[in-house]
Amino acid sequence: STTFEFSNPVNQNHQLNVYTITGQKVREENLKSTPYTFYRENLHPGIYFYELKNEKTVVGRGKMMVE
């Protein structure tokens, strides 16, 4: 699993999108609370990119590896 922590003082809805290295979206999670634990079950080993955004802006981007 991976834990995401982000500032959310007004309790906005956020969306976490996870993509393969080729850009295919493999997961979409709607979340509001922080910290949020993302479970990587059903993802094949490899490198993935993520994007966390609220209704107005991208809050964070990064990559993670699944072994």
> What is the tens place of the pLDDT at every residue in 10-54?
888 999 999 999 999 999 999 988 888 989 888 999 999 999 999
Has residue 2 got a pLDDT over 90?
Answer: no
**pLDDT, position 47:** 96
Question: Which residues make beta-bridge pairs with 5?
Answer: none
Six-digit token pair at 36? Answer: 């949020």
Alpha-carbon gap, residue 26 to 43, rounded angstroms: 8
Cα distances from 46 to residues 11, 22, 34, 37, 59, in angstroms, run: 33, 11, 26, 19, 24
In single-letter form, the type of residue at position 8 comes to N
Report pTM: 0.86
Has residue 56 got a pLDDT over 90?
Answer: no
**pLDDT, position 30:** 93
In single-letter form, the type of residue at position 13 comes to N
**8 band by pLDDT with thresholds 50, 70 and 90:** confident
